[in-house]
Amino acid sequence: MSDTIWVLVELENGQPARSSLEVLGKAAQLGRAQAIVLGSNAAQVAPTLGEYGAAKVYVHDDAVYDTYLTLPAVDTISNLLKQHQPALFMLATTYDLRDIAARLNVRHNMGLITDATDLQFDGDTLQVTVPWGGENVVTATFPKQGTGIVLTRPKAFGLERLEGKTAEIETLSPALNAESQKMKILDRVEVQSEGPSLEDASVIVSGGRGLGKAENFHLVEELAAALGGAAGATRAIVDAGWLPYSYQIGQTGKTVKPTLYIACGISGAIQHLAGMKGSKYIVAINRDEHAPIFSVADFGVVGDALTILPQLTAEVKKRKAQ
Amino acid sequence: MKMYVCIKQIPDPNTVVSKLDPNSKRLVRSGVSLVLDPGDESTISAAIKIRDTIGDSEVTVVSMGPASAQEAMRRALAMGADRAILVTDPALAGSDALSTARVLAAVLKKEEVDLVFCSTESTDGYTGMVPGGIAEFLGLPQLTFAREITIEGGKATIKRVTMTGYQTVECPLPAVVTIASGSFEAIYPTMKGIMGAKKKPFTQLSLADLGIEASQVGEAGARERVMAVGKVEARAAGQVMKDEGNSAQAIADFLQRYQLL
């Protein structure tokens, strides 16, 4: 069996996404890692991918991948799959890469495993670890021949850089299909938020249904601001329309690993725990003493977040001023 | 316009802790409360809103699942969808994302499709792979993670959620569109809606009706296999106290002890 592993490296403003480089590093531990990089500036990026584990890089520097969603990338990778048969195709779980994976899965009748947190080969058998629900962890594999796709959970692997390591470069010149230039990106809007982003924050204060109503969410934001952190939310209150999707922490939404996570009025649904369990210290405030959030909390308070939050914000400000 | 919404019945995420059966390695569905996926309620509502805005349109809900899924579909009809198509067949148990997309696409191929809506992902499986798979089977573009959508002049334009904001993306119809959770307020069925739902067209199809071989779907067709189901290593629980008016101080003490302040 081939020990070649492909990794699609996503570009963000012309630079390789950290999430993709983490996956590339993992692929290099498992076998012969080959990166695919498509889009404007891909030719500049390609030689640097050796330092992150790529033995070879397939590159197509073309703005078509930046202008049109999904399909041009699917076509190019599909052509490449007709010429080569890697053992595995790994992608980070991001908005754009998920869409590409979903189509390739069907076009090439591949096996596909999502949300993986670890992979290893036991002889010829690939074992993929997938946390499932709060209680179970599943080990899955591809029993049939052919390339399997694995999408990995954000932040599952660390970033490694081997300075000076180089990669073989192969420049692709695929025929571009006009039919695939359908989903046109007209503009990109960055929404500025105050303070650190959820991904970068070392402190996150987040709120759930226990806050009662959307108007109470400012209590969470005020504590986050006092601690120099970011505010987050559960899927339940995002679904209820209190906050935009960008606040959502959980299996859907963002996976966060801050130093401190303060959960306010959050019961601890499995889907939420999946996104924040990796936090170093977890503090929970909830009225229900049986709430699952207490099973992961380092420090828990059974009480009303609406009463405690303003007191805690005041206490934090007072102690910080001392 | 003919609009379709692919929906799913799942164990109630608000009351049920989803479990896997260690023998079958499948989701435990017996004895648990099953509901229409809350994400789908938002997606159905988006389709109904568009139908009522542009007029002369129809919303059909499509699902694959056991016969019990009829209940979830009745709820969709009570919310305002016009008709329902359920694919149910014993051979479908254990289907992966690829097979699910194959079956739903087979239903849609028999229809004249202008727009197919899906939720970005289901609330029980979370793979998010089915909508893109349906689009590929149908040869249609897929606009994903929409938080807003406009239909005009034979085109769909969406605001697509990104990590740092959004993109405006347009494409010609027909197309598959996925709706980001929470983007549209769910319609709550009225008593009139619930009564009316009973009279709406409800079609039930088997695999044979769709010309799909049993070996292509279900456990037989799955290209992934679960080798083992294990237990997660539990994170050790810490100290829990009852609030007696001094919690803020106690939490601040905890933060200071670990140099978090």
Give the per-residue pLDDT at A192: 66
Residue B193's identity, in one-letter code, is: G
In a domain, A118, yes or no: yes
Most B-contacting residue of A70, A223, A257, A289 (CB-CB within 10 A), to test interface: A70
Asked whether residue A90 is assigned to any structural domain, the reply reads yes
Structure confidence by residue, pLDDT tens digits, A287-312: 999 888 998 899 999 999 999 999 99
Q: Are residues A207 and A112 both part of a single domain?
A: no
CA separation, residue A270 to residues A98, A292, A295, A301, A317 (Å): 22, 8, 12, 20, 33
Using a CB-CB cut-off of 8 Å, the residues of chain B touching A229 are: none
Nearest CA in chain B to A303: B243
| Together in a domain, A226 and A146 | no
Tell me the residue range of the domain where A44 lies. Answer: 4-180
Yes or no: say if B117 and B46 are a contact pair by the CB < 8 Å rule.
yes
Alpha carbons within 13 angstroms on the beta-carbon side of residue A122 total: 9
> Strand, helix or coil at A320?
helix
Do A159 and A222 share a domain, yes or no?
no
Range of weakest confidence among A48-57, A113-122, B100-109: A113-122
- On whether the CB atoms of residues B226 and A138 are closer than 8 A, the answer is yes
Residue A36 clears pLDDT 80, i.e. is over it: yes
**A259, A200 contact by CB (below 8 A):** no
Structure tokens at B190: 């009225």
What is the band of A124 on the pLDDT scale with cuts at 50, 70, 90? confident
Same domain flag for A280 and A233: yes
Chain A residues in contact with B253 (beta carbon < 8 A) = none
**C-alpha A92: how far from its chain's center?**
6
| Overall domain count for chain A | 2
Higher-confidence residue of A145 and A210: namely A210
State the best of A12, A95, A129 to mutate against chain B, taking most chain B CBs within 10 Å: A95
Task: Indicate the residue of B172, B185, B237 with minimum beta-carbon distance to A295.
Answer: B237
B85 within 8 A of B62, measured Cβ to Cβ? yes
Last residue within a domain, chosen from A131, A148, A180: A180
Task: Return the H-helix or E-strand segment holding B245.
Answer: none
**A110 pLDDT higher than 90:** yes
- In angstroms, rounded to a whole number, what is the distance separating the alpha carbons of residues B23 and A111? 22
Q: What is the mean pLDDT of each run of 10 residues along chain B (261 residues)?
A: 96 72 77 89 95 96 96 97 98 94 98 96 86 98 95 95 88 96 86 96 98 94 90 75 93 90 84
Q: What angle do CA A61, A66, A72 make, to 5 degrees?
A: 75
- Please say whether the beta carbons of A15 and A84 come within 8 A: no
Is A189 inside a domain boundary?
A: no
Tell whether A82 and A172 lie within a shared domain: yes
B234 burial level (CB within 10 Å; 0-12, 13-18, 19+):
exposed
3-state secondary structure of A125: strand
Contact A136 B133 (CB under 8 A): no
- Non-local CB neighbours of B131 within 8 Å, separated by 6+ positions: A102, B6, B118, B120, B142, B144, B176, B178
Which of A14-23, A175-184, B18-27, B220-229 is predicted with the least confidence, judged by mean pLDDT?
A: B18-27
Please report, for the domain that includes residue A281, its CATH number: 3.40.50.1220
Comparing alpha-carbon positions, the chain B residue that sits nearest to A283 is: B251
pLDDT of residue A131: 82
Compute CA distances B102 → B60, B85, B222, whole Å. Answer: 18, 15, 12
Delineate the domains of chain B, giving CATH numbers in brackets. 2-221 (3.40.50.620)
Is residue A25 in a domain? yes
Average pLDDT over residues A183-205: 85
Burial classification of residue B214, based on how many CB atoms lie within 10 Å of its CB (0-12 exposed, 13-18 middle, 19 or more buried): middle
A1 pLDDT higher than 60: no
Which one-letter DSSP state was computed for residue B185? P
Question: Do the domain assignments include residue A212?
Answer: yes
Q: How far apart (Å, rounded) are the C-alpha atoms in residues A244 and A246?
A: 5
Residue A236: the pLDDT is 87
With residue A7 as reference, give the H or E element that holds it: strand A4-9
For chain A, the average pLDDT equals 92
A298–B254 CB contact, under 8 Å: yes
**pLDDT tops 60 at residue A240:** yes
A198 in any annotated domain: no
Q: How far, rounded to the nearest angstrom, does the alpha carbon of residue B240 sit from its chain's CA centroid?
A: 37
Q: Which of A103, A187, A319 sits opposite B132 (nearest CB)?
A: A103
Query: In this structure, are A52 and A139 located in the same domain?
Result: yes
Question: What distance in Å separates residue B151's CA from the closest CA in chain A?
Answer: 14
Give the amino acid at B165.
G
A236 and A172 within one domain: no
Chain B CB contacts of A300 below 8 Å: 237-241
Residue A267 to residue A269: CA distance in whole angstroms: 6
**ipTM > 0.95, yes or no:** no
Same-domain status, A209 and A110: no
Instruction: Note whether A140 and B25 are within 8 A (CB).
Output: no
Residues of A in contact with B163 (CB under 8 A): 94-95, 199, 246
One domain for residues A173 and A40:
yes
Q: Could you tell me if residue A266 is inside a domain?
A: yes
- Confidence band for A198, pLDDT divided at 50, 70 and 90: confident
Closest Cα partner for A134 from B233, B26, B29?
B233
CATH number at residue A22: 3.40.50.620
Q: Are residues A171 and A138 in the same domain?
A: yes
Q: Which of B20, B169, B235 sits opposite A184 (nearest CB)?
A: B169
Tokens of A149: 């796709």
pLDDT at site B246? 93
- pLDDT score recorded for residue B15: 66
Q: Number of C-alpha atoms within 13 angstroms, CB side, residue A274?
A: 25
Are residues A32 and A75 located together in one domain of the fold?
Answer: yes
Q: Are residues A147 and A287 in the same domain?
A: no
- In this model, does residue A177 exceed pLDDT 70? yes
User: Position of tokens 């359920």?
Assistant: B86
3-state secondary structure of B87: strand
Residues B119, B155 contacting (CB under 8 angstroms):
no
Nearest Cα neighbor of B119 from B18, B19, B47 is B47
How far does B97 lie from chain A, in Å, by closest CA?
A: 8
Q: State phi, psi for A196 to the nearest 5 degrees.
A: -70, 155
Q: Nearest-CA neighbor of A134 among B19, B24, B39, B14?
A: B19
Residue A185 belongs to a domain: no
Question: Residue B209: CB partners within 8 Å, gap ≥ 6?
Answer: none
Residues of A in contact with B232 (CB under 8 A): 131, 134-137
